[in-house]
Amino acid sequence: MSFTAAGPALQQAPSGLVRCWESPAPYCLQTSLRILVRGKQDPTIRLGPGVAWLAFLTPEGPATLHLREEPVPAPGARVRARAWGPGARCALDSVPALLGEHDDWSGFDDDGFLATLPRMVTETRRRNLSLRLPSTGRIMDSLIPVVLEQKVTVLEAYYAWRYLVTRYGVDAPGPAPSGMKASPAPETWRKIPSWDWHRARVDLSRSATILRACALASGLERLAGDPLGEDLTAKLCSVPGIGVWSAAEITQRTHGAPDSVSVGDYHLAAYVGAALTGKRTDDAGMLELLAPWRGHRQRVVRMIMLSGYRKPTYGPKLAPMDHRRR
């Protein structure tokens, strides 16, 4: 894999800074980056077939990143990356990890390992050889929406993220699609008044966790350079309000964690159990089922999700709560 300047030099121009990323293996932007999207109206990312727009803050300022797949002879892949704004160079530097350059599936794709997997998983992998697990390296951009998803419906969390980022985020530089914003800086999150947390339907517990994390943002961001493992999880969980579920969800995005399982998720254990055995299970049961594939458990979960399997539903759905009345 390689990441090179497009043309004789890397230049800032109205068309932005440009580089190309190439891989001898297949790659799909839409499948790989889907985990970063927080609903169809997420103001920080626009994702479609073969194209992605992302807006985020870097140490040098806001940046807009545009990614587009380009045709190359099979089975290789090429993605042209273009960036605008004060953080354009930082954004381009993050592209290889973002696209999953260091995400190594060789152990998973080994014939001996594949032979241990259910057919649902192996068939889904065969159809999705272009999937990579992305590593954004941006802790706060993953931590805050994960906290918003704690103990509420996905629709509630997506609404809160969209409302707060649209209201307090930084306009995406360059020719970004209308309405795109970079997530607010930690100091901006800390200045959001209580009434806007209520308008976003965020309860006191979640807003307090976000404010605590923002007070520790500089230290938390340095964790992007830490290796995966129990020590990293412990450091994330040292923030009151961040537990093992949140830590798993964060590192799946920031580090491309191939073995991270979201223990404590409202739906995941029952879903995995139903997919693998036909019966629902709890977290302990899910971990037991996934134990033979330790090291690749998140990959197995992603394959199950991509398989199209839908577990049977019983009883009423979890009703959204309106925290504006509290």
pLDDT at 326: 45
Q: Sorting pLDDT into bands at 50, 70 and 90, what band is 323?
A: low
Rounded Cα–Cα distance for residues 82 and 67 (Å): 7
Question: Concatenated DSSP letters for 162-222?
Answer: HHHHHHHSEEPPSSPPTT-EEPPPHHHHTT--HHHHHHTT--HHHHHHHHHHHHTHHHHHH
CA atoms 155, 161, 164, 169: torsion sign? negative
For residues 81 and 79, give the distance between their C-alpha atoms in angstroms, rounded to a whole number. Answer: 6
Q: Mapped to the 3 state alphabet, what secondary structure does 70-109 carry? A: ECCCCCCEEEEEEEECCCHHHHHHCHHHHCCCCCCCCCCC
Contact 180, 166 (CB under 8 A): no
pLDDT at residue 12 above 60? no
Of 165, 173, 147, which Cα lies nearest the Cα of 243? 147
For residue 318, the model assigns a pLDDT of 53
Tell me the two tokens of residue 57. Answer: 């803050």
Q: Three-class SS of residue 124?
A: helix
Using the structure block, give the residue that is written with the tokens 């923030």.
239
Six-digit token pair at 279?
Answer: 């019966």
**φ/ψ (deg, to 5) at 111:** -55, -40
Q: Cβ atoms within 10 A of the Cβ of 202, count?
A: 27
Q: Mind listing the pLDDT tens digit for each residue in 17-34?
A: 999 999 999 999 999 999
pLDDT tens digits for range 76-129: 999 999 999 999 999 999 999 999 999 999 999 999 999 999 999 999 999 999
Following CA atoms 239, 153, 276, 114 in sequence, which dihedral angle do they give, to the nearest 10 degrees? -60
pLDDT of residue 312: 74
For residue 146, name the pLDDT band (cuts at 50, 70, 90). very high
**All residues at 6 or more sequence positions from 223 whose CB lies less than 8 Å from its CB, including other chains:** 139, 232, 235, 236
Give the per-residue pLDDT at 2: 62
Single-letter amino acid code for the residue at 259: D
User: What confidence tens digit (pLDDT) does each residue in 202-241 have?
Assistant: 999 999 999 999 999 999 999 999 999 999 999 999 999 9
pLDDT band at 325 (very low <50, low <70, confident <90, very high): very low
| Per-residue CA distances from 280 to 13, 15, 260, 274, 312 (Å) | 55, 52, 20, 5, 10
